[in-house]
Amino acid sequence: MCGIVGYIGTEDARGIILNGLKRLEYRGYDSAGITLFNGDDDTFHVYKDKGRVAHLEEITDFSYRSVLGIGHTRWATHGVPNQINSHPQSSDSGRFFVVHNGVIDNYKELITSHLNESVFASDTDTEVIAHLIEKFSYRMSVSEAIRKTMSLLEGSYALAIIDTYNPYKLYACKNKSPLVIGVGDNGVVVASDVMACVGYSDKFVPLEDKTFVEIDGATYRIMDIIGKVVPHVEKPIDVDYFNIEKGEYSHFMLKEINEQPAVLRNIIGAYFDGDEVLLNGEIQQAIRDSDRLYIVAAGTSMNAGQIGRELFEKMAGIPTEVHIASEFAYNLPLLSKNPLFIFISQSGETADLRAVLVNIKAKGYRSLTITNVKTSTLAREADHFVEILAGPEIAVASTKAYTAQIAILAILAYGLSDKHINLRKELSKVAISMENIIDKRDYIDKLVKDYLTKRNCFYIGRGIDYYGCLESSLKLKEISYIQTEGFAAGELKHGTIALIEQDTPVIAIISQRAIAKNTRSNLNEVKSRGAKTLVIATRGVHEPDDQIVVDDVYELFSPMLTVVPAQFIAYYAALHRGYDIDKPRNLAKSVTVE
């Protein structure tokens, strides 16, 4: 959460930073700020306020030349979103400016132990960092003062720092929060995500925890906390600029829903040779060697993990558990003798997952990350990783990553199954069927207009459809703010049915032949109590009045299909309410604080 961008070089720092911040706005967007060096008269200027990067752009002075700056887009943790709490934060005398992504757990203790005399302008933990650096800089070099500060900080941080006494240097450091440096012919970018470097840098270096980097326009030096130079490798940036733009679509979410068939075909192209699965043998072996799989994830990725459990258990006969990362991190269940941990994360940066990874690595357990970002922390730090190849997902509401994660889980499970289906053909069928749903999106738009008129809604289903309901309800609530829950249909009459009143919207997902009748009877129960029902069913189990009918596919893959109308339902519900679909309130795409 929070995005930081810094630049030093010979190009226009303001343009690079503002553009970078726009690309990182998915990380948080309640306030934004920038500090720029005015090369014309050797002064520094700060522009910051509550609101989006577009507002920051309006309040930024474009009249002078600037080749050094740092910027921030915020997701508030300490202090309400307002002008004063926006970053950059500055030190006592205003000598140092700092932008920060992360949370400093011991900032109050640091005030008591080191900064009793300081006066603080903001409510942020970040301001403490700026004050500490300044305090230490009176008796040591700036590099030492920053590293000394790092040694005192507990928690997570990615920082970009400017010393106004020296406009020829930019400093950065990190622990737990992601930070990369982008290297190009005309300068160096530091950023929370490589996306901010695209177009300005050809190569990038992901920084390790507890490293510090000192940059002048042309060169940089990465050090550990005691100042010893750390070896590093520059990697090529291969993100396509086109992929991070909306193109003809009004929203990234709409673009990403529509991209799902292409993503699935991309996965098929990359992970199959003819009808045979192409997978790193070591990964297959790691799964084979384990006596139980522990899937650890959050949000949508956890919902994909629930389908993953069905796939591993039903296709490959491997016992599998699914855990919420934030719970698992501090409440380890009884583990089997040879567990394999599978981390599923679109971003590969979710702090809750990282906490588990660090913990299980320390205990010597093996791990596999399934992610969309091959350069991410979780991809780098796990023993193995598999890329879901969904292309950049920008909208906060995850769509194409979910279906891509399920496809990858199916490929992993299939490798260890009796191969009773032709996986390539089955996945190709799903891609075609997704297109059939996408063609009907105007019809879904109309349905939503008449149907979702209340402040609440329920999704119900059984078995694998229940997990589909969890994902479908998460989509609807996070962008339309309609209070939506997904329920196991049979569980309704054990309490929740008390909430059903005249015209309460209830959406049922029905795709499994063996339990379709049971869900239908639960649907009748809510109908008799006044609910307004809508059914998403597969052709094989549909009934004449069902509103949305999708093609039949291999039953365990039906969640990849039934979720597509649910994604459209969420999209149009938010559109009709006039909400900011790609950046829903209070949320951020990449949750890098625990």
Q: What element of type H or E holds 325?
A: helix 325-328
**Partner residues linked to 510 by β-bridges:** 537
Q: Which of these is catalytic: 255, 475, 583, 589?
A: 589
Asked if residue 398 binds ligand M6R (CB under 6 A), the reply is yes
State the minimum distance, in angstroms, from the CB of residue 285 to ligand M6R. Answer: 26
Asked if residue 480 binds ligand M6R (CB under 6 A), the reply is no
State the minimum distance, in angstroms, from the CB of residue 77 to ligand M6R. Answer: 16
Asked if residue 397 binds ligand M6R (CB under 6 A), the reply is yes
Asked if residue 300 binds ligand M6R (CB under 6 A), the reply is yes
The strand pair at 292-297 and 187-191 is best described as unpaired
State the minimum distance, in angstroms, from the CB of residue 200 to ligand M6R. Answer: 25
Interacting residue with ligand M6R among 76, 396, 488, 500 (CB under 6 A):
396
Asked if residue 301 binds ligand M6R (CB under 6 A), the reply is yes
Angle, to 10 degrees, between the axis of helix 558-577 and the axis of helix 441-451? Answer: 60
Contacts of 404 (CB under 8 A, 6+ apart): 260, 263, 264, 267, 372, 388, 389, 390
State the minimum distance, in angstroms, from the CB of residue 368 to ligand M6R. Answer: 15
Q: Render the burial of 82-92: b for 16+ CB within 10 Å, e for the rest.
A: eebbbbbbbbb
Contacts with ligand M6R, 448-477, as mask; x by CB under 6 A: --------------------------x---
Interacting residue with ligand M6R among 286, 470, 591, 593 (CB under 6 A):
591
Asked if residue 298 binds ligand M6R (CB under 6 A), the reply is yes
Residue closest to 52 by CA, chosen among 81, 11, 78: 81
User: CA 545, 550, 554, 556 torsion: positive or negative?
Assistant: negative
Binding segment toward ligand M6R, per CB under 6 A, in 4-12, 206-214, 297-305, 409-417: 297-305
Residue closest to 201 by CA, chosen among 186, 218, 213, 184: 184
Q: Which is nearer to ligand M6R, 86 or 347 (CB)?
A: 347
Alpha carbons within 13 A on the beta-carbon side of 540: 12
Active-site residue, 457 included: no
Binding segment toward ligand M6R, per CB under 6 A, in 118-126, 227-235, 396-404, 437-445: 396-404
Contacts of 228 (CB under 8 A, 6+ apart): none
Mapping DSSP to helix (H, G, I), strand (E, B) and coil, where does residue 528 land?
A: coil
Distance CA 526, CA 296 (A): 34
Binding segment toward ligand M6R, per CB under 6 A, in 16-24, 115-123, 232-240, 394-402: 394-402
Active-site residue, 589 included: yes
Asked if residue 347 binds ligand M6R (CB under 6 A), the reply is yes
Binding segment toward ligand M6R, per CB under 6 A, in 86-94, 115-123, 299-307, 496-504: 299-307
Q: How far is CA 62 from the centre of its chain?
A: 32
Binding segment toward ligand M6R, per CB under 6 A, in 222-230, 393-401, 407-415, 546-554: 393-401
Asked if residue 478 binds ligand M6R (CB under 6 A), the reply is yes
Q: Which is nearer to ligand M6R, 126 or 301 (CB)?
A: 301
Distance CA 232, CA 247 (A): 36
Asked if residue 18 binds ligand M6R (CB under 6 A), the reply is no
Binding segment toward ligand M6R, per CB under 6 A, in 58-66, 203-211, 295-303, 426-434: 295-303
DSSP string, 234-248: -EE----GGGGS-TT
Reading the block at residue 233, the tokens are: 């490798």
Neighbours of 165 (CB within 10 A): 10
Angle, CA 180 vertex, CA 177 and CA 186 arms, to 5°: 150
Residue of minimal Cβ distance to ligand M6R: 299
State the minimum distance, in angstroms, from the CB of residue 126 to ligand M6R. Answer: 23
Distance CA 481, CA 118 (A): 42
Q: Which is nearer to ligand M6R, 553 or 563 (CB)?
A: 563
Q: Which is nearer to ligand M6R, 373 or 515 (CB)?
A: 373
Binding segment toward ligand M6R, per CB under 6 A, in 136-144, 339-347, 425-433, 458-466: 339-347
Which positions from 502 through 541 interact with ligand M6R, judged by CB under 6 A?
none
Q: Which is nearer to ligand M6R, 526 or 560 (CB)?
A: 560
State the minimum distance, in angstroms, from the CB of residue 319 to ligand M6R. Answer: 24
149 contacts 133 by C-beta, under 8 angstroms: yes
State the minimum distance, in angstroms, from the CB of residue 398 to ligand M6R. Answer: 4
Q: Which is nearer to ligand M6R, 397 or 489 (CB)?
A: 397
State the minimum distance, in angstroms, from the CB of residue 476 to ligand M6R. Answer: 11
State the minimum distance, in angstroms, from the CB of residue 249 to ligand M6R. Answer: 18
**Partner residues linked to 3 by β-bridges:** 73
Asked if residue 31 binds ligand M6R (CB under 6 A), the reply is no
Angle, CA 330 vertex, CA 328 and CA 333 arms, to 5°: 50
Q: In what order do the strands lie in the sheet with 157-163?
A: 89-90, 96-101, 157-163, 170-175, 211-215, 220-224
Q: Which is nearer to ligand M6R, 300 or 403 (CB)?
A: 300
Total residues contacting ligand M6R by CB under 6 A comes to: 15
Q: Look-up: residue for tokens 């809750």? A: 352
Binding segment toward ligand M6R, per CB under 6 A, in 39-47, 285-293, 296-304, 554-562: 296-304
491 contacts 461 by C-beta, under 8 angstroms: no
Q: Which of these is catalytic: 2, 173, 457, 469?
A: 2
Q: Render the burial of 335-361: b for 16+ CB within 10 Å, e for the rest.
A: eeeebbbbbbbbbbbbbbbbbbbeebe
Asked if residue 350 binds ligand M6R (CB under 6 A), the reply is yes
The contact set with ligand M6R (CB under 6 A) reads 298-301, 345-347, 350, 396-398, 474, 478, 590-591
Which residue numbers are catalytic? 2, 589
